[in-house]
């Protein structure tokens, strides 16, 4: 057996590169399909009991409160039965997992981030940057994860 390394032709290299490109495209498409499914199923549990009545009562109250404020946290405490059910059934919430964000996967994080952004639009004083900062403390996110979310805000802004 020779110790010499095989020299590849440009065509051989290009064929391997094309195969790699196709594989990456397939993996990206798989992620897109899974994200589209997440979008179809997102928060469907809020439309039925035991969540419906509580969210019906508290959604307007939450809109008038500042995310993370004492008032907001009081509303969350009053919503505990619905939230416990919601978190148990929806894995895009850190509360779904024993170890919070550390147990989440990339799709969970993307859905959570989109949920955070959409939630800011339901609050009279919603602000995604402030929400990320609040959630950094609330969920014990490190600087790197927080910065990734901050870097991603522009992806959700209108062009």
pLDDT confidence band for 70 (50 / 70 / 90): very high
- pLDDT (tens digit per residue) in 3-40: 678 899 999 999 999 999 999 999 999 999 999 999 99
Residue 91: predicted pLDDT: 98
pTM over 0.85: yes
Interaxial angle between packed helices 70-78 and 52-63, expressed in degrees from 0 to 180 and rounded to the nearest 10: 170
Place of tokens 């994860």: 145
From the list 103, 133, 137, the residue with the least C-alpha distance to 116 is 133
Measured CA to CA, the distance from residue 82 to residue 52 in angstroms comes to: 8
């Amino acid at each position: 057996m020779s110790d010499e390394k095989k020299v590849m032709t440009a065509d051989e290299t290009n064929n391997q590169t094309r195969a790699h490109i196709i594989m990456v495209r397939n993996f990206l498409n798989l992620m897109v399909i899974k994200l589209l499914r997440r979008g179809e199923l997102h928060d469907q549990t809020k439309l039925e009991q035991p969540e419906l009545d509580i969210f019906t009562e508290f959604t307007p109250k939450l809109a008038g409160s500042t995310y993370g404020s004492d008032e907001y946290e009081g509303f969350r405490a009053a919503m505990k039965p619905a939230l416990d059910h919601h978190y148990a059934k929806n894995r895009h919430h850190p509360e779904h997992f024993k170890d919070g964000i550390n147990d989440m996967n990339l799709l969970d994080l993307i859905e959570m981030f989109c949920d955070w952004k959409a939630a800011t639009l339901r609050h009279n004083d919603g602000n995604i940057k402030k929400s990320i900062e609040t959630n950094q403390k609330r969920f014990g996110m490190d600087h790197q994860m927080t910065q990734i979310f901050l870097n991603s805000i522009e992806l959700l802004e209108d062009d």
